Amino acid sequence: MGGRDAMTSEAVLLEVAEAAGGVGVSKRIRGGKRFIEMPSREQLEFGVRRVEDMVAADAPVRVFDAILDGLDYGALEDRYVGGGRPGYPPKVLCKLLFWAAHEGIRSAREIARRLHYDLNFMWLAHEVKVDHQTLSDFRRAFAEEFKALFVQTVALGVQLGLVRFGWLAIDGTKIAAHARRKMYTAEDLKEALGRVEERIGEWLEQGLQTDAEEDALLGEARGDEVPAELQDAERLRERLWAAQAALAQSEQKSISLGDAEAPKQRSAEGKRPGYNGQLAVDGETGFVVAEALTDAQNDQQEFAGLAREAVANVGRPPEAVVADKGYQSAETLEAIAEDGLNAYVAQPKVQTTEGYGHEAFEYDAERDEYGCPGGARLSFWKTKRMRKTVYRVYRSSRTQCGACPHQTACLGKRKERRRELLIPPHAALLAAMRSKMASDGGRQALQVRKQSVEPVFGVMKSVLGLRQFLLRGLAGARAEFRIAALAVNLRKLVACGAIRREACGAS
């Protein structure tokens, strides 16, 4: 709009305002401009700038950068043999991936976009533009080397007092794989292959039409192009073949077409293909001291490895360890005894049709018998294998139980009117742990676990966005999970006053 038109419009507005009584309208001040005049976008500008000036002196990204600068990247750099086109420095790529995770950004494409407009990313990368494929390939290829960086953050946490190790809390969570919920059994795959083969047969039959029909249908095309629908069907057939082969080699009953390595997991969101994420955190600060991602469908075999890794990373055992009932197993209890840990493992409720539990029976080691509350003796009868565990079975005689005043309370709904006890190899360890969890210390331990490790999983899922993996396969999912664990620790290190003062030069 030209100057004359603007003046005319303004005059009209003033007249309207005056006609309305001038309520709420400021009077124009003569001899000055009311608003800043915006420069034209066509105007040329010249200036000098430094990348260093892109972020404020006290910006969190400076603290983050100082932390990452202090880590040793030798394990990553050793993978580069040299020759040909030089690669991006691993330290820079790590900074971009870890800062993105710190900010809840997981997409390599989004990181690449941010390198064009986000000052934090531009500053970290020295204004070098890295394509998304390089970032994605680096993330997948260096998952194992990221482990060394994670361990270094634990050492830094110990040094700064963020790892106190009074309590070590262990827990797991299920995270969805990059795949649809539907999983296919062997019969499902067979039926799907039959439908695909039928569709391919229809297309091949159509390909036997006469030349005249092809000319009329295809015009100037050569006539031998493979239709897109047929290409899609052939690709699906190959995926189904691969899924059949993978299912036959696995111990699973079903498989996902999207991620064949992800077994069916049970979670609060229902059943779907996914992986089992494991964390060991400092019970007081929530600092992650060990992490793992497995394809296990439960936690029973995960305690020993995670606890031992936590002790190795910190350099000393904790005063106490706590885990939920999902970790209860013979292997867990045996590892606790072998490592001499002061551990608290929550115990699942024993589902039994009998009135008296095992704790009501007293073992006589010399005679290898159990005495019941009614005075009867349960002698060893045989061994019995159940779910890969060999139990020793002890039982009483019908005569003893028939005359016992505790018969109804002890036998409950058992059809056979005699009592049996199935004793696992770790019975003594199990009894000791049940007694320990019934104490005040056991109840306190369960509160520590809820208040420490569960909030960390909440941060990973809600703040960092790790509710579903982006990379397919166990190796790719492990890389994402490890980066998320690193990001949790880096968030705590960035917030640490000692590091902030050193990195930003504050007094």
Residues 199 and 100 in one domain: no
- Here the CATH number for the domain that contains residue 274 is 3.30.420.10
Residues 171 and 155 in one domain: no
Strands (E), 93-224: 167-176
Contact 489, 150 (CB under 8 A): yes
Asked if the structure places residue 491 within a domain, the reply is: no
Q: What is the DSSP letter of 378?
A: E
User: Which DSSP string do the residues of 140-173 spell out, in sequence order?
Assistant: HHTHHHHHHHHHHHHHHHHHTTS---SEEEEEEE
Asked if the structure places residue 303 within a domain, the reply is: yes
Residues 363 and 343 in one domain: no
Asked if the structure places residue 424 within a domain, the reply is: no
Is the pLDDT confidence value at 5 over 80? Answer: no
Domain count, the chain: 4
Residues 326 and 443 in one domain: yes
Is the pLDDT confidence value at 121 over 50? Answer: yes
Residues 82 and 122 in one domain: yes
**More confident site: 228 or 112:** 112
Rg (CA), the chain: 34
Residues 220 and 341 in one domain: no
Residues 280 and 403 in one domain: no
Is the pLDDT confidence value at 186 over 80? Answer: no
Report, as an integer, the average pLDDT of 90-100: 96
Residues 287 and 342 in one domain: yes
Contact 285, 163 (CB under 8 A): yes
Residues 202 and 235 in one domain: yes
C-alpha pair distances (Å), 141 with each of 134, 292, 472, 487: 10, 17, 13, 18
Residue 299: phi and psi, rounded to 5, are -100, 5
Plot region of 259 (φ>0 → left; ψ -120 to 50 → alpha; else → beta): beta
Residues 377 and 306 in one domain: no
Asked if the structure places residue 223 within a domain, the reply is: yes
Residues 319 and 342 in one domain: yes
Residue 27: band (very low, low, confident or very high) from pLDDT cuts 50, 70, 90? low
- Give me the numbers of helices (H) and strands (E) for the chain, helices first please: 19, 11
The pLDDT of residue 211 is: 46
Q: Domain range spanning residue 472?
A: 167-177+266-348+436-486
Asked if the structure places residue 411 within a domain, the reply is: yes
Is the pLDDT confidence value at 218 over 80? Answer: no
pLDDT tens digits, residue range 52-76? 999 999 899 999 999 999 999 999 9
Task: Match 């396969």 to its residue by tokens.
Answer: 473
Provide the 3-class DSSP secondary structure of residue 383. strand
Residues 472 and 326 in one domain: yes
Asked if the structure places residue 340 within a domain, the reply is: yes
Asked if the structure places residue 81 within a domain, the reply is: yes
Residue 229: band (very low, low, confident or very high) from pLDDT cuts 50, 70, 90? low
Asked if the structure places residue 413 within a domain, the reply is: yes
Cα distance between residue 481 and residue 485, in whole Å: 6
pLDDT tens digits, residue range 237-282? 776 667 667 777 777 778 788 888 888 898 877 888 999 999 999 9
The encoded tokens of residue 167 equal 């309590």
Cα distance between residue 148 and residue 73, in whole Å: 8
The encoded tokens of residue 354 equal 């009998």
